[in-house]
Structure 1
């Protein structure tokens, strides 16, 4: 079985309290740590990779992001999915080529820009073009940004999800959806649903799975937790009280 087929299979046939957990690594070293811990696949967070490269979230040049992802893929033997934000303005054909060259099995694609939410019909059309170019060679996780853009009505997320699944998305990711609406989203969405967990706080991955999430990611949470641990070590070494 190919890496992408194995990755796709991990999303299906799961019991509610056992969602697929994909740690958010940010460089080759952290990827190795999670792979050696036994996780069957990994998923990069764009904000975490950006921080490792010295950029603010959303400011990483495409070439540097793809190069960083390729280094991560070379470092581990498990499938890796990459958060490539909104696709960096690349045409679907070039985007797919760049992802395949990096060696990933899938990607996150956002439906908003700095200006706001994209038109869902236009975004679905673009996703369909990405799917056509990719065939079955990539797992497409369509991020839905309604909740982070102040649209709190779950129906808006469910409507976008339907359009994106029809366009060929393998999974949808209503990022920052309130925990209380996860069962409603689960009931209204076909296929796997991605939810975000916050390390050390909020519902556990198993609890999020019981509420309807098929797949759990962490955004940049694990990278920021590791950065805080390094900061505390640095302050102790410098003789200052840890913050």
Structure 2
């Protein structure tokens, strides 16, 4: 298996030019399947992992998240970008300790977001969020080969009244604090994407495409995006297929089962 430091270096190099797709498996099987399809790197999804355990997004504790990351990292030789929530620490010191443990799983990169999970105060103050990014940066720098740090502004997802302006303010601060990739989940229009890319420059930007947005990879690349992830969308697609098949069976029909991937094909993949 490729060494952790080498995978981190390779992943960092992927961000230097062009635009690549970073699909999101939610278990070992989907990680192995996506690796077999020729992707150069993978990213975890907190929502997909939680749903596979019968939990809501965000309900996995730190130990469960770390175990999941270790499984995904061990499933393939590809670099893995970890969805690491808000850093699993009540303060900057706690974030630093948790991120160090995250790096120990062998991930090539990890994201730290500024959403608190508390509806009464959905975002950390900018001062607190910056302190958490700085703490995560210190832990990433101490890891062999230096794990990459992704700074996420969650303004669109938490219903901020002026999400684009606040996101731009925050990603500029996260870049100064040490984030190497910037990420504003929820942007979808060319105008929003261009504004984020312009503010982030020269740092690379991750674009989340979790639903059809009318943009192809070619168009997204032309807007200056360096990497595209899909979050929990693939897991949602799988759950959607299960839901349609179950609804059909409850109605006395089994036609949806014809859309399944053949078991023999899966056995050949996982036996390799």
Q: Which moved more, 1:42-51 or 1:210-219?
A: 210-219
CA distance in 2 between counterparts of 1:186 and 1:40 reads: 23
Name the structure 1 match of 2:8. 4
Name the structure 2 match of 1:229. 241
Matched-pair contact (CA < 8 Å) for 2:87–2:99: no
**Per-residue deviation at 1:10?**
0.7
Name the structure 2 match of 1:217. 229
**Per-residue deviation at 1:188?**
1.8
Q: Which moved more, 1:64-73 or 1:33-42?
A: 64-73
Superposition TM-score, scaled by structure 2 size: 0.81
Query: Residues 23-69 of structure 1: CA distance to partner in whole angstroms, max 9, x if unpaired?
Result: 01100000011111010000011111111121101111211111111
**Per-residue deviation at 1:22?**
0.4
Question: What's the Cα RMSD here?
Answer: 2.1
Matched-pair contact (CA < 8 Å) for 1:47–1:220: yes
Matched-pair contact (CA < 8 Å) for 2:210–2:232: no
Q: Which runs of 5+ in 2 are unaligned?
A: 257-272
CA distance in 2 between counterparts of 1:99 and 1:174 reads: 22
* Corresponding residue SS for 1:77: coil
Matched-pair contact (CA < 8 Å) for 1:121–1:163: no
Matched-pair contact (CA < 8 Å) for 2:84–2:110: yes
Q: Which runs of 5+ in 1 are unaligned?
A: none
CA distance in 2 between counterparts of 1:209 and 1:159 reads: 23
Aligned residues: 239
Superposition TM-score, scaled by structure 1 size: 0.90
Matched-pair contact (CA < 8 Å) for 1:142–1:169: yes
Name the structure 2 match of 1:192. 204
Q: Which moved more, 1:33-42 or 1:60-69?
A: 60-69
**Per-residue deviation at 1:233?**
3.6
